[in-house]
Amino acid sequence: MAITFDYTAGVTMDAVVQSSVVSGNPVRIGSIMGVALTDAEQREDGNYYATVGIQGVLASVGTTHIASAAVNQGTAIYTSTAAGSANIGVAATLTTTSSGNTLFGYTLNTRSKNDGNLLIKLVG
């Protein structure tokens, strides 16, 4: 029996999310971490949906997503946001604090002050 593997699938997903999710938000969907590529939009079934990137790199400008000014490359980034009810996607708050939080990704560069970009490789 042949196995089919699509290496392009799994880069994005059409996810049920909270109505407050907007493009650019870090998003937590259960144990899946991602970045909203579109704003939440209500559909005929009454749920809100957004396209969420689940592979790749989040480019965080200044302290938009991480409050710490200085962050070194290879630093683990966590979300302090709990998973949504029934794993509905929620906008995630990011931190460098590991205690009690869930891994979101790893930094790919060093930011020495709060006005530089921080590149975060999504976990997964």
pLDDT digits (tens, 9 = 90+) for 11-49: 999 999 999 999 999 999 999 999 999 999 999 999 999
**Distant-in-sequence, close-in-space partners of 103: CB < 8 Å, separation ≥ 6:** 33, 76, 77, 78, 123
pLDDT of residue 7: 67
pTM of the model: 0.87
Q: Which amino acid is at 93?
A: T
As beta bridge partners, residue 33 has 28
Edge-to-edge strand ranges of the sheet holding 94-95: 57-61, 117-122, 102-107, 76-79, 94-95
Confidence of residue 98 (pLDDT cuts 50, 70, 90): very high
pLDDT of residue 42: 98
